[in-house]
Amino acid sequence: MPRRPLEGIRVADFSWVWAGPFCTLQLAHLGAEVIRIETATRPCITRQIPPWPNGQPGLNRSGYFNQYNQGKRSLTLNLKQPQALEIAKQVVAKSDIVVENFAGGVMDRMGLGYETLKQLKPDIVMIALSGYGATGPEKEHISYGPAQVPLSGLSSLTGYKGWRPMHVGISYGDPNGGLHGAFAVLCALMYRARTGKGQYIDLSQWETSTAMVAEGLLDYSMNGTQPERDGNHDAYMSPHSVFRSAGEDRWVSVAVRDDNEWRRFCHVIGQPALATDPRFATLTARKQHEEALDALITAWTSTRSAEEATAQLQAVGVPAAPSMSNKDLSTDQHLTSRPIFTYIEHPEVGKQQHIGIPWLLSKTPLAVQRPAPLLGQDTEYVLHDLLGYSVEEIGVMREQQVLT
C-alpha cells in the first residue's frame, strides 16, 4: 500500500470554527496526524451548532463539526493553567506544523507565538490564518467568515440592479482561507525538506478572499469604474441566468457564451428565428433587451424539468445545469458514481453520510481514516503514548482540572 503524502507528519492544531479546521482537514486527508488542542471550558463553536442527527444536540453530535474534523484527534487542555500550557508546548516540540486562526496577537499573549515555539522546535512550520494578517492597523480585529464576503468586495458585486450589496449564502472566506492555508503549509514543508528550515506563514483571510474576486478591483484600478450589480446576469454572456423550470422551486441555469451558442440555443427551444432577430442577434443587442430575453427563455424552461432542459442544451454544447438542492446532491447519479460521498461510523451518532475527499490521486489512494473525535477522546494517547506521562500523572492532572 503506498504511503499517504503526509504520513509521518504531525500537526498541533489550535484552530477552531471553520478556516483553520478546513486547512487541517486537507492535511488529515493527506495523511498527517492532526491533534486538535481544545477545551471543554470553551468548546469550539462548531461543536455547538446544527445540524444534529435526529435534532438532538451534543458536543460530539454536530454534523458541522464532524464534517470538517474527520481524521483528527482531540486533546483537551485548560490553557489558563501553566501545566496545560507546558503540555501544549511539548506537543508542539513533537510536531511538524502548528495551525491557529485566532485574531492577531492571541497566540503571543498565550505564550505560544512563533518566536517562542521555534525555540522548542527550530524547524517548525507555523501558520496563522487570521482575518486581517499579522501586520497592519487592523491586525487584532476579530473576523468571522460572513465579514470576509463584504470585505473582499464580493458583496459589492452581488445583488440585483439598484439593490443593496448582498451576501453570497455561505461564509466564503473561511474555506477559501483554509484551502490557501493548506497550500501554503505544503509549500513550507517542501522548503523544509530542501533546507531543513521551518518558517512562519502569515495568512490574511481578507486577502485570500480578495484574491478570488480580483476582476472588479482590476476594473477599478485600470478604469476607475465600479461594476454594477446585475443579479444573475453577466457582462460578457447573454442569456446568463437561472430560470424557473417545471416543479416546485425548480430552476435551471443557462450560460450562452457567444453567437454560435445562441444560434444552437434558439434551435433547441424551437425558435430559430430568434437567432437573427435584431433584438437578440448579437451580445450587445441581447444585453440591451435582456428582460424580454429572460421572459422568452422562462416560457420555454418552465414547461419542462430542469434535468430535461439541461440534457437538451448540453446535447448541443450549450452550458446548462439544474440548480441542485441538498437532496439532489446526495442522490445525484453522477456524484454517487464517484467517491465524493463516504459513510463514517461515529461512536455517538452512528453511521452518517459525509463529504469525503474531493480529489483523486491516481498513484496515492486516499480515504478518511477515522471519524471526527469526541471532545478529549485522545487525551490519554497524547499524554501517555506521545509524551510519556504515567497513568498516575494523568489522573492527578485530571483532578487538578488541567485536562478540561
**Residues 54/349, Cβ–Cβ less than 8 Å:** no
The answer on 285 and 160 residing in a single domain is no
Q: Is residue 227 part of a domain?
A: no
The answer on 367 and 276 residing in a single domain is no
The answer on 100 and 27 residing in a single domain is yes
What pLDDT does 380 receive?
98
Cis check for the bond before 239: say yes or no (omega within 30 of 0).
yes
What pLDDT does 214 receive?
83
Q: Is residue 219 part of a domain?
A: no
Going by the DSSP 8-state scheme, the letter that residue 381 receives in this structure is I
Phi, psi of 91 (to 5 degrees): -65, -45
Cα separation, 274 vs 269, whole angstroms:
10
Dihedral angle of Cα 286, 287, 288, 294, to the nearest 10 degrees: 70
For residue 352, what are the β-bridge partners?
A: 344
The answer on 137 and 89 residing in a single domain is yes
The answer on 43 and 131 residing in a single domain is yes
The answer on 372 and 274 residing in a single domain is no
Of 343, 26, 360, residue with least CA distance to 175:
26
Active site residue 174: yes
Check which CATH number belongs to the domain holding 303 and give it: 3.30.1540.10
The answer on 371 and 310 residing in a single domain is no
> Which cell is 196 given?
531543513
> Which cell is 268 given?
433547441
For residue 22, how many other CB atoms are within 10 A of its CB? 23
Q: How much is the pTM?
A: 0.94
Q: Is residue 74 part of a domain?
A: yes
**What is the chain's alpha carbon radius of gyration, rounded to the nearest angstrom?**
25
369: containing domain: 10-212+337-399
Pairing of strands 33-38, 10-13: parallel
Give helix 259-268 / helix 306-314 axis angle, nearest 10°: 130
The answer on 260 and 116 residing in a single domain is no
What pLDDT does 71 receive?
98
Cis check for the bond before 122: say yes or no (omega within 30 of 0).
no
Letter string b/e over residues 281-294, b meaning 16 or more CB atoms within 10 A of that residue's CB: eebeebbebbeebb
What pLDDT does 326 receive?
92
What pLDDT does 149 receive?
87
Phi, psi of 239 (to 5 degrees): -70, 150
> Which cell is 114 given?
512563533
What pLDDT does 167 receive?
87
Going by the DSSP 8-state scheme, the letter that residue 234 receives in this structure is B
Check which CATH number belongs to the domain holding 145 and give it: 3.40.50.10540
Q: Is residue 199 part of a domain?
A: yes
The answer on 186 and 318 residing in a single domain is no
> Which cell is 90 given?
511539548
The answer on 175 and 42 residing in a single domain is yes
- What total number of domains does the chain contain? 2
The answer on 153 and 274 residing in a single domain is no
Q: Is residue 223 part of a domain?
A: no
What pLDDT does 228 receive?
86
Query: Which residue positions in the chain have pLDDT lower than 70?
Result: 1
Q: Is residue 24 part of a domain?
A: yes
Q: 114-157: per-residue pLDDT in tens?
A: 999 999 999 999 999 999 999 999 999 988 877 888 999 889 88
In order, the DSSP letters of 58-116 are -TTT-HHHHHHTTTEEEEE--TTSHHHHHHHHHHHHT-SEEEE-SSTTHHHHTT--HHH
The answer on 64 and 191 residing in a single domain is yes
Active-site residue identified among 13, 96, 174, 294: 174
Element (H, E) at 219: helix 214-223
